[in-house]
Amino acid sequence: MPHDRARFADLATVAADVCRTAAEIVHRSTGRAVELGRKSSPTDVVTQTDVDAERHIRARLHELVPSSTVIGEEGGTTGLADDAVVWIVDPLDGTVNFTYDLPVIAVSIAAAIEGRVVAGAVADVLRGETFAASLGNGATLDGRPLSGSSCTSIEAALVATGFSYAADLRRTQAAVVSALLPLARDIRCFGSAALQMCWVAAGRVDGYFERDTKLWDYSAAAIVASEAGMSIELPCPENDGLSIAAPPALFTTLRAVVDVG
């Protein structure tokens, strides 16, 4: 892939700008969630705000990058990527939090070219923060460079995680947490995969892992973490669907504890 850092930076700017405007739509609906139905399980909800935010995102991305493709959590795939830009969109990461009026919700947009994510942004709806990154250009939080957590030991690590909607996988995840809890400083579960991975990039938590996340959950946050100097691993059949982000000095140890393969 040609290393077009300027183009990647432009795509990150688009992602960040659209994330912010979509976050305004979500923010206006906080405390007034209207559930439309369920997706993968009775606990996996979709709201009218998910749909409204994604509709806005698709319209803006097609306006700003007309020939691109959009892959969204709620609306599937639209467009033809003549210029090879594929947008990966989560209009409301943390929908269960949103339905309970809990303050951890995000909008996530990534740009991929030839199958590789080259730019992305994640907007924290209620804190009004925007994480952004592009390949070779580093990661930022509201324009300020990020360098990530500097934690080197599992004993000092505050680790974030999340849980599947599938009951059988939750049993396995409970065993992993049981193994990790005595070793780590502590464990947190905030309900937004995108924000938790970005918080590793910002040094707000020292590591993050989760299984059964989807492409739109992690794509933008992963490039933010990677460009902040963190080691990452993304889901694939060989790792049983594991997402993980941590400082290089902590990564191998954390992965060994949470690996159930």
Task: Specify the residue for token string 């059949």.
Answer: 237
Of residues 181, 200, 197, the one with CA closest to residue 234: 197
Q: Count H helices and E strands in the chain, helices first.
A: 7, 15
Indicate the domain borders of the chain: 5-145, 154-258
43-54 pLDDT, tens digit each: 556 778 888 999
Burial of 143: CB neighbours in 10 Å, binned 0-12, 13-18, 19+: exposed
CATH architecture of 5-145: 2-Layer Sandwich (3.30)
- pTM, two decimals, is 0.91
Of residues 59, 48, 47, the one with CA closest to residue 21: 59
Instruction: Identify the CATH class of 154-258.
Output: alpha beta
Strands 129-134 and 138-141: antiparallel
88-144 pLDDT, tens digit each: 999 999 988 998 999 999 999 999 998 899 999 999 999 999 999 999 999 999 999
